[in-house]
Amino acid sequence: MQTRPAVPLTPRPGKIIAVHLSYPSRADQRGRRPSAPSYFLKPSSSLAATGGVIERPAGTELLAFEGEVALVIGTAARWVSLDEAWDHVAFVTAANDFGLYDLRANDRGSNLRSKGGDGFTPLGPELIDAAAVDPEALRVRTWVNGRLAQEDTTAGLLFPFRRIIADLAQHLTLEPGDVILTGTPAGSTVVTPGDEVEVEVDAPTVPGAPSSGRLRTVVTQGDHAFDPSLGSLPAADDTQRAEAWGSREAAGLPSEPAPALPAELVAKLREAPVAGLSAQLRKRGLNSVTIDGVRPLRPGSKLVGTARTLRFVPNREDLFATHGGGFNAQKRAFDAVAAGEVIVIEARGDTGAGTLGDVLAMRAKARGAAGVVTDGAVRDSDAVAAIGLPVYAAGAHPAVLGRRHVPWEADVTIACGGATVQPGDVIVGDSDGVIVIPPPLVAEIVDATLEQEREDAWIARRVAEGEPVEGLFPMNAAWRQRFEQEGDR
């Protein structure tokens, strides 16, 4: 083993590198387990050695903590093996990788503004000699106002520390004093002004249980507001709230509707024509359930799924500047759509700009989406049609959405083609158009439709045999009796 020089924790490490996901508990909470580690950089100015105070900026609400194990590099590492990797770590300590989810959308992945603020990386207070501990036997715990919020160990990580170090070292030189933040377990959530967050890393299986001590940070309210003329403003939607708090339930949000219909029901809906479903809904007093003015890009397409909604508002340049760029509501909806869901877009019937193109259609197909319905236009329409995803639109247009639309919000009640659509509504489309079915009625409606189709097929055979339609369509009592006797013959 190499000798580790005493590398003090400086106020300005050359690099602070953070891992996006490494704990299985956090990955499961996020709903994805990556096959390889990914990283982002934090500025050295975000370091707050030994903790202290963190300001939640004015106009924001979603400041979340992440208790982590921090590694301090002792000797330069470049192209090192897994066996050699830990030899280049001098110290282990506690870290709190604070993040401001209000600023996360437009910095998706890079996290520069959402995690790079002054004081957003408390570190310390004590350093544990890395040579004295097993990197797979460390423990991290976080308390909020004295209550334990996070506890996990480094055993069974998706990406063990040796792998993280060796992977980084094949891309860049890790230098003495560099800090690696190794990810957080489940339990991260939002804190507010007045809260105290404490993080501790220790090695409970080592004699004496060496510890970083408790890294204490107090949240305060900042006075400085962000200038809208300079860049993106804070924006908190339900997606960010759910991720910041850890779940929709913790954020006080209603549960998302079940993303998929039972396979048996999907099969029935695929068999049922939209015209027949419309007739059955009309019999039950529901006349305003057709999405008017939309046609399939691929003739013969059949669409069945549950609605995931997206709303555009008319373009206004100042609003597009704050809501149109980066990881906006449109991109979030296509990136989050689940298998069996249909993205339904409110574009006010304005076909003067595209509401999606081939890249987003490919993303929806890759996610297993059932299709897309928009009462606006589609850009790259031939390419979108070639993808094979059922897409129903009011037209085609070459312009990008900023010409007419601002992507405003997702997962809300919308109006599309004159019909009200709520998240979770059942959407069915064929060559006749698209219809919206309230979930409580769908089983009843589809069964009645298929029974009516059976009757209509029998009637059609009689007409083909030369029978007149009077008394047969609809059936009078005599014809009804014959139908019940003959069945499908």
**What pLDDT, on a 0 to 100 scale, did the predictor assign at position 489?**
67
Percent of the chain with pLDDT over 70: 96
State both tokens at 352.
Answer: 């003067």
**What pLDDT, on a 0 to 100 scale, did the predictor assign at position 404?**
92
Query: What is the per-residue pLDDT across 292-307, written as a single tens digit (0 to 9) for each?
Result: 999 999 988 999 999 9
Give the model's confidence band at 11: pLDDT under 50 very low, under 70 low, under 90 confident, else very high. low
Query: What is the per-residue pLDDT across 115-131, written as a single tens digit (0 to 9) for each?
Result: 999 999 999 999 999 99
**What pLDDT, on a 0 to 100 scale, did the predictor assign at position 343?**
97
As to burial, measured by CB atoms within 10 angstroms (0-12 exposed, 13-18 middle, 19+ buried), residue 185 is buried
Query: What is the per-residue pLDDT across 224-283, written as a single tens digit (0 to 9) for each?
Result: 888 877 777 788 878 788 888 888 888 888 766 555 688 899 999 999 999 999 999 999
Q: If you write DSSP's letter for every residue of 6-32 in order, what string do you get?
A: -----SS-S-EEEES---HHHHHHHT-
Helix (H) or strand (E) run with residue 197 in it: strand 196-202
Contact 351, 377 (CB under 8 A): yes
CATH superfamily of the 263-443 domain: Ribonuclease E inhibitor RraA/RraA-like (3.50.30.40)
Q: What rounded mean pLDDT belongs to the chain?
A: 90
The rounded distance, in Å, linking the Cα atoms of 458 and 18 is 67
* pLDDT at residue 109 is higher than 80: no
Q: Of 14-23, 106-115, 119-128, 361-370, where does mean pLDDT reach its minimum?
A: 106-115
Query: What is the per-residue pLDDT across 77-90, written as a single tens digit (0 to 9) for each?
Result: 999 999 999 999 99
Q: Considering the chain, tell me which residue range(s) the CATH 3.50.30.40 domain(s) occupy.
A: 263-443
**What pLDDT, on a 0 to 100 scale, did the predictor assign at position 428?**
97
Contact 315, 405 (CB under 8 A): yes
**What pLDDT, on a 0 to 100 scale, did the predictor assign at position 257?**
54
Q: Considering the chain, tell me which residue range(s) the CATH 3.90.850.10 domain(s) occupy.
A: 16-245
Query: What is the per-residue pLDDT across 138-158, written as a single tens digit (0 to 9) for each?
Result: 999 999 999 999 999 999 999
Query: What is the per-residue pLDDT across 375-413, written as a single tens digit (0 to 9) for each?
Result: 999 999 999 999 999 999 999 999 988 889 999 999 999
Taking residues 36-61, report their average pLDDT. Answer: 90
Taking residues 80-105, report their average pLDDT. Answer: 93
**What pLDDT, on a 0 to 100 scale, did the predictor assign at position 4?**
42
Reported pTM = 0.59
The rounded distance, in Å, linking the Cα atoms of 115 and 107 is 10
Query: What is the per-residue pLDDT across 324-353, written as a single tens digit (0 to 9) for each?
Result: 887 888 998 998 898 899 999 999 999 999
Taking residues 310-331, report their average pLDDT. Answer: 89
* pLDDT at residue 470 is higher than 70: yes
Count Cβ atoms below 10 Å from residue 125 Cβ, excluding itself: 17
Close Cβ partners of 330 (under 8 Å, ≥ 6 residues apart):
310, 312, 355, 356, 360, 401, 407
* pLDDT at residue 5 is higher than 50: no
Percent of the chain with pLDDT over 90: 68
Contact 402, 241 (CB under 8 A): no
Q: If you write DSSP's letter for every residue of 239-300 in order, what string do you get?
A: HHHHHHHSSTTTTTPPPPPPSS--HHHHHHHHHS-HHHHHHHHHHTT--S-EETT-EESSTT
Q: Of 6-10, 52-56, 237-241, 368-372, where does mean pLDDT reach its minimum?
A: 6-10
Does the domain at 16-245 match CATH 3.30.930.10? Answer given as no
The rounded distance, in Å, linking the Cα atoms of 317 and 282 is 42
Angle 309-315-319 (CA atoms, 0-180°, nearest 5)?
90
